[in-house]
Amino acid sequence: MEEVDHLAHERQTAEFDVEAMKIVWAGSRRTFEIADRMSRLVASDPEFRKDNRNMLGRKVLFRNSLRKAAHAWKRINELRLTEEEAAMLRVFVDEASYVDLHWGMFVPAIKGQGTDEQQKKWLSLAYKLHIIGCYAQTELGHGSNVQGLETTATFDPETDEFIIHSPNLTSSKWWPGGLGKASTHAVVYARLITDGQDYGVHGFIVQLRSLDDHSPLPGITVGDIGMKFGNGAYNTMDNGVLRFDHVRIPRDQMLMRLSKVTREGKYIQSDVPRQLAYGTMVFVRQAIVSDASKALSRAVCIAVRYSAVRRQFGSQDGGPETQVIDYKTQQSRLFPLLASAYAFRFVGNWLKWLYTDVTQKLQAGDFATLPEVHACTAGLKSLTTSVTADGIEECRKLCGGHGYLCSSGLPELFAAYVPSCTYEGDNVVLLLQVARFLMKTVSQLGSGTKPTGAAAYIGKAEYLLQYKCNVRKAEDWLNPSVILEVFEARAVRLAVICAQNISKASNPEEGFSELSADLIEAAIAHCELIIISKFIDKVQEDNEGRGIKEQLQILCNIYALSLLHKHLGDFLTTNCISSKQGALANEQLRALYTQLRPNAVSLVDAFNYTDHYLGSVLGRYDGNVYPNLYEEAWKDPFNDSVVPDGYHEYVRPLLKRELRFSRL
């Protein structure tokens, strides 16, 4: 097939240095170079083929995921890749598998909760993949409510062992990735019982399968929970079910960094502060926010490129039809998502810094910022994953009928991504946790306690409650300090209104429950403010490269003003702005779309995704969509035969009978 760049004319209109923007997107030149090398390594290796994934049955799909994971491990060792390079290679393999939970949950859990001796023993095995681990917390009956878990770990002082047991059906471990078929070990969360007393949920390392023949060990019932949403997608992952029937493990397989049980059965809290466990949580949630930017940017890349290729209506005197991307209705749905992808990328990079910062503080015994960090990471996990899941689906709609084809890459991307709205904390539950933090922060304003970090703006509550927006013309909305103060005022006012209404209730818990929907809106306002403030910080950095600062400014303003438009009711009902100022914001937003338009394709090129990673005929770099879409259709095994199976049994008799009847 002739190789022609059908998007060359789009790339020629770019008003910025695309290569420099690639480095801004990556976070550093070093990270860009690693990502570029790993993505091309994967794309050039036929072992990592994935274009036929949505046509495969579950058993073949899973076998392929095992093969790819093994091949990836082989290449990692052959090339002597660093931990960072290996993690990046697994990202570009782009297939959910047991290794995700092994490296992403099992290893961090042992690092965070294991003693030095336990880490030395278990991590040396895990790092070499001599054992494969998963994270067995969620149960059939309990997910978000971890304290309600029912699996028990009862200490037997006579044998110096814990007895792990599933007392009823709802205590079955349910959902852990890698558990169904692959894992040999698990960090199992169970209620620690010793000397007749329940000490709550703790972690235990439990071997599940034989290291010789992989069969389940005595007392263990384990398997896969079945097919999940979508073709291909997350069905490469063996999410499992696990039940224990009085399974005994040595006492030293309880993770004992934070607490331990002595040989005599006495429960002892260690000198290590329990708050250190928060470090692992921050690490996992910052990774989820970074994943959100990857997933949303992939969908946006596909939708932007296809919108530039697709032409519909508007032909004048037999000339070409109008590019779909030139319609304002398309821009108003697509460009805010493009801006969101950049916004999530930058706040994700900031969270990496926050993880390093909070880890250092925890190790120094400084726990003052923990509540704010917990609220921040919980809220950003919730907001970014919800927006990304909705955004991928919106991109599918933006691609019209062709977006519904599996070959567009969007249905599988959505199906593979959407579980992130539930795992590591249900998004609604997380926002309510943020709301609790906000209510506590507001209640302490008169006590002299100053809010810190991303919540520091609440300390200006007195000023923000009196704040009057001074926007008089549309261009005033381009001032970052104006945007910041308006969003601060909205966040403070929504939080204060909720706090005032809760105070009127007969008791605080009843008031919190009654106002939970309003509290979620306040939490969202807080999280959106954080993202905007970090985006503004990024714009104000010394970003090298022609036109980089200008494009980031446009994206930042689109992100902020599109949110203002979306939540206009919040801003008006809290008197943060007037209806006239809201109209001016919309006027400026339309002008920003026009400014972004010549750069749209180049801004998604800056993501530096290979066609292999995108996995989309519609999002091809060369824009040569239609011939490849046509060719892709004929690759489907359904087209292997001209006459379909079942024709002679079911269709031909009908046709023949109808023909006879027509002669009567």
Tokens of 128: 């070499």
Number of CB atoms found within 10 A of residue 3's CB: 6
Tokens of 332: 């108003």
- CA 556 from chain centre, in angstroms, equals 21
Query: Measuring CA to CA, which residue among 288, 270, 277, 241 is closest to residue 110?
Result: 277
Distance between CA atoms of 215 and 588, rounded to whole angstroms? 64
* Cα angle for residues 357, 279, 413 (degrees, 5° grid): 100
DSSP result, 537-561: HHHTS---STTHHHHHHHHHHHHHH
Q: By CB neighbour count within 10 A (0-12 exposed, 13-18 middle, 19+ buried), where does 611 fall? A: middle
Tokens of 278: 């928060």
- CA 377 from chain centre, in angstroms, equals 12
Q: By CB neighbour count within 10 A (0-12 exposed, 13-18 middle, 19+ buried), where does 91 fall? A: middle
Query: Measuring CA to CA, which residue among 155, 179, 154, 180 is closest to residue 167?
Result: 154
> Of 139, 394, 424, 488, which residue is the catalytic one?
424
550 catalytic, yes or no? no
Directed axis angle between helix 370-398 and helix 516-539, to 10°?
Answer: 90
Q: Are strands 220-224 and 133-136 parallel, antiparallel or unpaired?
A: unpaired
Q: By CB neighbour count within 10 A (0-12 exposed, 13-18 middle, 19+ buried), where does 20 fall? A: middle
Overall residue count recorded for the chain in this entry: 664
What Å distances lie between residue 212 and 131, 216, 217, 580, 632, CA to CA?
Answer: 11, 11, 11, 73, 43
- CA 103 from chain centre, in angstroms, equals 16
Directed axis angle between helix 427-443 and helix 516-539, to 10°?
Answer: 90
What Å distances lie between residue 401 and 258, 326, 393, 628, CA to CA?
Answer: 54, 19, 13, 16
Distance between CA atoms of 370 and 348, rounded to whole angstroms? 18
Tokens of 367: 């726990």
- DSSP category for residue 230: T
The two counts, helices (H) then strands (E), for the chain are 24, 11
Distance between CA atoms of 130 and 282, rounded to whole angstroms? 28
Determine the residue type at 142.
H
Query: Measuring CA to CA, which residue among 27, 90, 95 is closest to residue 61?
Result: 95
Q: By CB neighbour count within 10 A (0-12 exposed, 13-18 middle, 19+ buried), where does 399 fall? A: buried
Distance between CA atoms of 170 and 161, rounded to whole angstroms? 24
Number of CB atoms found within 10 A of residue 359's CB: 16
Query: Measuring CA to CA, which residue among 601, 589, 661 is closest to residue 307?
Result: 601
Tokens of 359: 């880890």
Query: Measuring CA to CA, which residue among 262, 174, 261 is closest to residue 226?
Result: 174
Kindly list the catalytic residues. Answer: 424
